[in-house]
Amino acid sequence: MKVECVGKGFVYTWPGGQVTLEPGKPIDLPEERANRLLKKAGNRVRLVLSTLQPGDRITWTRADGTTQHGTVDYLHTDADRSAWAFVIVGDNWVAVNLKFVSQV
């Protein structure tokens, strides 16, 4: 998960690791570590969901191993911070978790 410092930068340390957070410089952390930081740091850190915008073309690999392409129509974030793209594929919509998406 990508997180970003809001306001003054700081160093986040945990057993076995350390990162420096700076405003405007998102960093990628494992999901469990990012969630712990978001709870601990409050308003000092925000989740960076995506740089995707409606109209962007994306690709992802489906469970059957095939690669799918589509155009982002809408972005949504669940209460548990899962981020989804609703994508137009042909005449249909599909929901794709942003963990599995690459921008074309």
Which residue type, as a one-letter code, is found at position 9? G
Which residue type, as a one-letter code, is found at position 96? V
3-state secondary structure (DSSP) of residue 19: strand
What pLDDT is attached to residue 49? Answer: 66
* 42-95: pLDDT as tens digits: 889 988 766 788 999 999 998 899 999 999 999 888 877 778 899 988 888 899
Query: Domain ranges in the chain?
Result: 2-48, 57-103
